[in-house]
Structure 1
Amino acid sequence: MAKAEMFDVEITALGAQGDGVGERDGMPVFVPGTVPGDVARVAAKDVRRNGIYADLVEITKESADRTAPLCQHFGTCGGCQLQFLKQDAYAAWVKDRTAMALAHHGFDAGLVKDPIITPAESRRRVALKALRVASGVVLGFNERQSHQIVDVKKCPIARPELTRLFGPLRDLLVSILPQRMAATVHMTVAASGVDMLIDAAKPLDLADREALVDFANTHDIAAVHWQDQGFLDPVAIRREAVMDFAGARVPLPPAAFIQASDEGEAALVKAVVDACAGYGRVADLFSGIGTFTFPLAKDHQVLAAEGAKNALDAMQAAANVATGFKQIVVKHRDLFRRPLSTKELEMFEAVVFDPPRAGAKDQVEQLAQSAVSRIVAVSCNPNTFSRDARMLADGGYELESVQPVDQFLWSPHMELVGVFSRK
């Protein structure tokens, strides 16, 4: 098939990345911007072994599952690909996507619970791209599969505390960034207010510092850091940025990982805590700054193991002064290079692990050979979760349930919690 050849295709499914999927001559056709039930005129862009990748030319027949997108930037901004999908159909896709990943590794779709979907205007952390141009500063998110920045005025998924800063940020960066300089602005709504880190390859002069401090004071920003080629400069610390985990006030390192929304965090924590109820000592692996550690420590002795030293130091500082918790032992450990061994796991009745997208293959190998009674896997990638789940099942564990939690609204990204018990 020649590139740019046009043809009509009926969309019958949604792929794992949120693209509509049809068929032509026995080959899958992937079309961004379409949903099941659409009939679309498309132009072939690329033909690969796994299918035809096409651009949407026009919708000739609309699906009943379509709805009007909320965002004025929809279609150019690379996020929220499925904003035009009705809520029921979207929730069904989230569940089906998890079930399909599990099915590839031999698990039954009935293990997947109905997903928990977080609402609009709930995302509490964003990373905005900025570029100084002749007319000012372009600030927003990249287009799909592009480095081109969409100048975002409003964002229907982000917390209002963040979106109201978009305009003032443009004015601030105009006075600091030279022509054609790029920057990334990380913003997080912490328990103590908005925490901000601006990453740009520019040392600050006195006028820059005064502008940043004035911005923080004017907009009640908790803390502003500037990062110049790895050098972190605490420009304005009006209040320490902290997170509240089950009543523990945990210092938040600049731009550190936290769950994307309050609602998503609450759903994940509940699933983890409920799964560990009735068990004794718990290991929280890849613990970060303690999202699960502190809620678990209300009723359990907890070992928290984490490879990132700044996250571990933050958790230790909170554990040193927090009250109302059982014993928390903090361990600096690169679990990719040195997973807890089966011998070390003997002292735990339950293990929680929440690795990055690549999963935790080496650690799971040790868990699969262990005698731990309860394993709770938290994941942001259904594919690596399913791979790790198969390793545990082959080692004698039974997967009891999987709870999808979608806190990346209208996108292919999701979290899930899988609960395992030793047969």
Structure 2
Amino acid sequence: MPNGLWGPAVPNRPRRHGSGVPPPALKTVIIDRLAASGEGMAGDVALPYTLPGETVRARLSGKRGEMEAVLAAAPARVTPPCPHFGPGAQCGGCALQHMDRAALLAWKRARVEAAMLRAGFAVPPVHTHQSPPRSRRRARLALRRFADGLHFGFRQRRSHAVVPMEVCHILTLPLFTCARRFAEAAEGLLPKGAINADLVLTETDTGIDLMILGVDEGGLGLAEREALANFAEVADLARLSVGEIPLVTRTPPAMRWGKASVPVPQGGFLQATADGEAALRMAVCTGVGAVRSVADLFAGIGTFSLPLAATGARVLAAEGAPDAVSALRTGAASAGLAVDVLRRDLFTDPIAAEDLAAFEAVVFDPPRAGAAAQAAAIAEAGVPLVAAVSCQPGTLARDLRAFSAAYDLTALTVVDQFLWSGHIEVVAILRRRHVNSS
């Protein structure tokens, strides 16, 4: 592979093929689009590390291929900043470092616009935000033993193999440094023998929350417990847990939103970047505006509930996870905010239309699978204003079809907080049309 596209060429490992199985065919193909995953597509064949409009030489096998050389590069192609990215290393932490960041954001925006058109809406001007490199504040990394010692990293693309990480261009520096220091010290921290652990790291406003998975807490000896406690002290961690059991809590992990201090549950959901979270919050709060009452459904730990309550609105916050419900209540109480927190599984027991009709606005932010039943109930309620938040444009479009007959899409925000990936965050503001009774 030529230098300049990926840096110094890294030879691929030789491929083995079973008896009677032909080796992948070497062909020249033209990439016509990007899949949602960020992989280039030549017809129905997926080719990672390629861009639309490029002519590439690749080895094809069924519906997948491996790019061997770029014969004609797209204007959006740039040199990836990370040595772990590309056909040689194949680190799975990123998919699109070879794409210009402005072009990447434009591609994500176009996907969202297309999804809204499919849902039956005219698309308003789109606001966009893109998180910078080294801003990701949560990650799950693998810790494995290699011939030269313990290493940490993301898993290889489409594999359980781990790519030892020397640098990272997406994680915050404190998060990367914490993972590196733990890997360097792990021989004295964990039981001897094979190590097959995962490190779940979250950078909160009070410090890093580190959870070690794949290690039996009951199998830790006194020396290992003392060593882990010492590491938490030296690394200035907020909390260190083995599995779901907190081993050391120096400072309870928490987020500070305005006057509220919100505990972060173990493994609890937090937006991937601080600036991305701020952009989403701004889009929701600006879109909702000055209302007297709002229901926040799938509220999590209060990312939107608490700032909405701080404006003086009466807020109903519904969430199914008990630890998130407890954190939200604690956060609201810490700031003296009037938030009615309801523990409820909105997938199996959505709030009915007649109960939502009393609110001036509804915010809903379900997981990737969306919330078709709850969205239909919101639309039936005829709430004047709806803020729909999603990390999956396809399921968002499906859920919003219930609104297209009576609502206008008045504002749309695209947030790219998973830089160099296919992931997108969206905030859609819907306003119910005035009905002329005459």
Do Structure 1 and Structure 2 share a fold, with TM-score over 0.5? yes
CA distance in 1, matches of 2:321, 2:414: 26
Q: Map 1:12-411 to 2 at 5 A.
A: 12-22=32-42, 27-47=43-63, 53-75=64-86, 76-108=90-122, 110-111=123-124, 113-133=126-146, 135-175=148-188, 176-202=190-216, 203=218, 204-227=220-243, 232-299=244-311, 300-323=313-336, 325=337, 327-394=338-405, 396-411=406-421
Q: Residues 291-327 of structure 1: CA distance to partner in whole angstroms, max 9, x if unpaired?
A: 111110112111111000001001111222313x3x2
SS at 1:149's partner residue? Answer: coil
The amino acid that maps onto 1:223 is: R
Partner Cα separation in structure 2 for residue 9 and residue 381 of structure 1: 30
Deviation at 1:370, TM superposition (A): 0.7
CA distance in 1, matches of 2:412, 2:113: 9
CA distances 1:203-236 after superposition (whole Å, capped 9, x unpaired): 2211111111111111111111111xxxx32211
Structure-2 change in CA distance of 1:266 and 1:329 (3 Å):
same
1:144, distance to aligned residue in structure 2 (A): 1.0
- Note the C-alpha offset of 1:373: 0.6
Aligned length: 405
TM-score normalised according to structure 2 size: 0.89
1:240–1:251 CA contact under 8 A, matched in 2:
yes
Q: Tell me how large the CA RMSD over aligned residues is.
A: 1.7
Give, as a single letter, the amino acid of the residue that structure 1 aligns with 2:144: L
Q: Distance in 1 between matches of 2:124 and 2:36?
A: 19
Amino acid at match of 1:61: A
Give the Cα separation in 1 of the matches to 2:35 and 2:245.
43
- Equivalent residue number for residue 420 of structure 1: 430
Q: Which runs of 5+ in 1 are unaligned?
A: 48-52
> Structure 2: how far apart are the matches of 1:57 and 1:330?
55
* 8 Å Cα contact 1:354/1:379 also seen in 2: yes
1:97, distance to aligned residue in structure 2 (A)? 1.7
Instruction: Give the stretch that moved more between structures: 13-22 or 363-372.
Output: 13-22
Structure 2 CA distance, aligned partners of 1:134 and 1:312? 45
Q: What is the rounded CA distance, in whole Å, between the counterparts of 1:383 and 1:146 in structure 2?
A: 26
8 A contact 2:121–2:408 mirrored in 1: no
Letter in 1 for 2:260: A
Question: What is the alpha-carbon distance in structure 1 between the residues aligned to residue 156 and residue 342 of structure 2?
Answer: 40
Measure, in 2, the Cα distance between the counterparts of 1:3 and 1:101.
39
In structure 2, runs of 5+ residues without a counterpart are 1-21, 434-438
| TM-score of the aligned structures, taking structure 1 as reference length | 0.92
